[in-house]
Amino acid sequence: MGAHPKGDALIKDNRISQRTLGQWIADYPGCLGAKVKDTFHGQLPFLFKVLSVNTALSIQAHPTRELAARLHAQFPEHYPDNNHKPEIAIALTQFEGLCGFRPVEEIIAFLKSAAGKDISGSNGELLLRLHSQYPGDIGCFSIYFLNRIILRPGEAMFLSANEPHAYLSGDCVECMACSDNTVRAGLTPKYIDVNTLCEMLNYKPAPASSKIFPCVQDSSDPCVYLYDPPIPDFTVMRIQVPSSVKQYTVSPLDCASILLVVHGEASATSTAALSDITLRRGSVLFISANESVSLHVTSPSGMTMFRACCLL
């Protein structure tokens, strides 16, 4: 969900001439909001995804803007953008991943157990699971060095530049800067660049608990929980409309946003829409800057939505 050239979102409404979100933004750049339009040169600055992870998704990290520009200039076939790619993953189900280097004491303890050929316990089970997915891949042993994190629904981890990570299992909502730059080193059939990854990584050890990114309830709307990482490109809102609320307004922002429904149903109206829109699980709306959407909630159990935006 976004306007990146490699995956420009298709517009479902066939009553307008634009076929993709990128074309719409190019024709109506004011929809981004003045600050976003000027700061990001008329481009939507984020990508919004839903991932369902069954097989582990690559030991990787994302470059800084400076490194991204250098890699793109040298190897454009492998690094198609000159932009950075910080990202956040918010769990929809129990979600398992690796993130950041473990405290040194933990690494030493795991290596001692491995030297003694002791692969019992949950880490041993994970090692065998990864080996079954990627036989012979040395990246399987990354579990001894990187924090293993299990997120509950609603919990998140933020991945800044140079942060080693991998997604192992579960479903999540993911938001990132508008980029396709990933440096990989294992657990993947894609291009691997071990030397670059080793040179760029943040090697500062930290406990797993420090990698869980907090959300904050919005003081102006108790239904909204903000995930606001320390980068300008994106913020994500989790909107939990309780079953007792049947009329809910998705508030206007001074920036464009993308709304994703993950639970519940509603009839949506706005001044920009040509007619009422039925929203259900999987529905996606692009909301222009300064535009609100009124929801008449029809599902008895309320609604859960995620909204990606850029709050400058």
pLDDT digits (tens, 9 = 90+) for 132-159: 999 988 888 898 899 999 999 999 999 9
Q: Which residues of the chain have pLDDT under 50?
A: none
pLDDT at 310: 97
Give the contacts of 32 (CB within 8 A, at least 6 positions apart).
25, 40, 42, 44, 255, 256, 289
Which sequence positions are flagged as catalytic?
184
The CATH topology of domain 216-309 is Jelly Rolls (2.60.120)
CA distances in angstroms from 88 to 217, 231, 234, listed in the order given: 17, 11, 9
CATH superfamily of 33-213: Jelly Rolls (2.60.120.10)
Q: Mind listing the pLDDT tens digit for each residue in 81-111?
A: 999 999 999 999 999 999 999 999 999 888 8
Give the contacts of 236 (CB within 8 A, at least 6 positions apart).
88, 90, 173, 175, 226, 227, 306, 307, 308, 309
**pTM for the complete prediction?**
0.94
* CATH 2.60.120.10 domain extents, the chain: 33-213, 216-309
8 A C-beta contact, residue 115 and residue 108: no
8 A C-beta contact, residue 142 and residue 27: no
